Amino acid sequence: MLPGGQGSGGGRLGLLRWLGLRLWSRRGTLVFALLWFGSWLFLNGLVLVHRSIMMSDYCTDDKSQRILQRLCVEFGEGVVTGDMCEDMCVLGLVDYKRCLYYENGKKVMEGRWRGKPIILKSKLENFSSYEPLGILDYQDAAEDVSPLDMVFYATLEVRNSLGLAEADEEEEEGGRGGGGGANSSLARLWGKKLKKRDKSFSRAELASLWSLLQQEEYTFLRLLQDLSTHVAKVLGSCGHFYAVEYLSAGHAWDQNIFSLEDVVVPGRMGRDRAGPRGRWTSREMVHRIALSFLDMVWHFDNDFAHKLHLCDIKPENFAIRTDLTVVAIDVDMAFFEPKMQDILEQNCSSDDDCNFFDCSSRCNLSRRRCNPRRRNTNLQVICEKIFRPWFSPTLLGAKAGLPLQVELQRAVQECSETDGGVDEREDDAAGGRPGGGSSSRDIHQRLLNILTRLLHEGGASDEGRREREERGHAHTSLNF
């Protein structure tokens, strides 16, 4: 088909010249045809790969709406329930918008509930695909299950799915008691909330709750709801579907990671300081988001009974609220310390065998086993993968030379490199060695300090210029 294929015939020179002429006159057409063919092949390949990955389960509006209709039929039959069911199935207050994602049965859809944007999620399409709650089989159909029994089962399930060994928790509770602000037994905390109910649970309630508890993400989010602003809020549920707040997810291709157009500026400071539209500059927003990242890291390291490790750090796995708080949205790769240690402790012949995505440890060569303690930290990976691209000199342009910016770049660079030896230092007493280089804690403090100063500086000095800039390009605010 291609001209090259005919080159083997006689009169090679003539043919070549002929081809050359043809090519010359039709080069445009040929190039176009080749490109077209190429992209056709590429697209076909893409669709094939896509289909096989998704197991020919791609997301269509039609399918999604049928799934929700089935859910409502089950609600009508009294099989499932939840605080969102009536709004969804009777009052029509939940609108389906579009589907976002199907993978191996996992459903993620966008919708609106009473006018508020939400994300609807379920790990499996059908309620019947979840394992039924065993005790319902033994229980008399008329008899409801006491909240106490439910607490027992739910707590077990939560511990299991998050890898919080019971023994560990007791130990932590006894050991840490006063210090560190450790928020003792996570699973028990959740149990307490269930226990507050004196009414017993109906079968539909139990079955629905049970299907939700089989979804690790739901369990994780519920557990941390009141403890953390850095996880998505669970707004409600119906059967095996739960709704979380809609957030603006990050993108690798966006220079600012997050699209900052939708951000609303809070009244107090914003209105009297910022421009006529009451907006922050995108630089200011990036600084504020960076501060929220720091807050999140600190919080995940210190505020739970077990450290929470984020093992898949990339822009797509974080989102922001309109108030610029950072939220970790892919919690499938977030592990509490006990589970982290289980994951890391593998046979090894070198350090390379001890990496689990962004979480890594060292190979103990005498034991040929990876150290169960993680070597790097959440902060280190965030510096490397989020902060460094954000604050790189090439993106900053002329502003890169400002002293505070230089200081920030240096701190970020150092933070990305404070890899080795972090865990040894942390194994020492909580105070660590005062003069011993930059520990994770020091570098956190330094970044916090620089970013805070940058925010102050931005607010105080170039206010006039900022306002002018704002008026000038309201829509190009993506570029600092």
Interacting span for ligand ATP (CB under 6 A) from 143-151, 167-175, 245-253, 336-344: 245-253
How many other C-beta atoms can be found within 10 angstroms of the C-beta atom of residue 322?
Answer: 12
Residues 360-399, mask of contacts with ligand NAG (x by CB under 6 A): ----x-xxx-------------------------------
Question: What's the one-letter identity of residue 272?
Answer: D
Beta carbon nearer to ligand NAG, 363 or 451? 363
Instruction: Report if residue 235 touches ligand ATP, rule: CB under 6 A.
Output: no
Determine which residue in the list 70, 106, 362, 388 makes contact with ligand ATP, applying CB under 6 A.
Answer: 106
Instruction: Report if residue 238 touches ligand ATP, rule: CB under 6 A.
Output: no
Residues 303-322, mask of contacts with ligand ATP (x by CB under 6 A): ----------------x---
CA 48 – CA 39 distance, rounded (Å): 14
What pairs with residue 102 in β-bridges?
Answer: 107
Question: What's the one-letter identity of residue 415?
Answer: C
Determine which residue in the list 28, 181, 276, 464 makes contact with ligand NAG, applying CB under 6 A.
Answer: 181
Beta carbon nearer to ligand ATP, 312 or 423? 312
The number of residues in the chain equals 480
| HSE (side-chain half, CA atoms, 13 Å) at 227 | 22
Interacting span for ligand ATP (CB under 6 A) from 11-19, 202-210, 329-337, 370-378: 329-337
What minimum distance in Å lies between the beta carbon of 463 and ligand ATP? 34
- Which H or E run contains 401? none
Please give the backbone phi and psi of residue 310, each rounded to the nearest 5 degrees, phi first. Answer: -100, 115
- Which H or E run contains 407? helix 403-417
Instruction: Report if residue 192 touches ligand NAG, rule: CB under 6 A.
Output: no
Pairing of strands 326-328, 318-320: antiparallel
DSSP 39-76: HHHHHHHHHHHHHHHHTT----HHHHHHHHHHHHHHHH
Pairing of strands 359-360, 355-356: antiparallel
What minimum distance in Å lies between the beta carbon of 302 and ligand NAG? 11
Instruction: Report if residue 347 touches ligand NAG, rule: CB under 6 A.
Output: yes
Beta carbon nearer to ligand ATP, 84 or 247? 247
Instruction: Report if residue 214 touches ligand NAG, rule: CB under 6 A.
Output: no
Packing angle, helices 216-224 and 186-195, rounded to 10: 80
C-alpha 213 chain-centroid distance: 20
DSSP 163-214: T--HHHHHHHHHHHTTGGG----HHHHHHHHHHT--SPBPHHHHHHHHHHHT
How many other C-beta atoms can be found within 10 angstroms of the C-beta atom of residue 217?
Answer: 23
Of 211, 258, 262, the C-alpha closest to 239 is 211
Determine which residue in the list 171, 226, 323, 332 makes contact with ligand ATP, applying CB under 6 A.
Answer: 332
| Range 89-108, binding ligand NAG (CB under 6 A) | 105
Instruction: Report if residue 119 touches ligand ATP, rule: CB under 6 A.
Output: yes
What minimum distance in Å lies between the beta carbon of 346 and ligand NAG? 7
| Binding at 329: pick from ligand NAG, ligand ATP, none (beta carbon under 5-8 Å per type) | ligand ATP
Q: Where does this chain bind ligand ATP (CB under 6 A)?
A: 100-101, 103, 106, 108, 119, 232, 244, 246-247, 249, 319, 329-330, 332
Which residues would be at the binding site for ligand NAG (CB under 6 A)? Answer: 105, 125-126, 129, 181-184, 227, 347, 364, 366-368
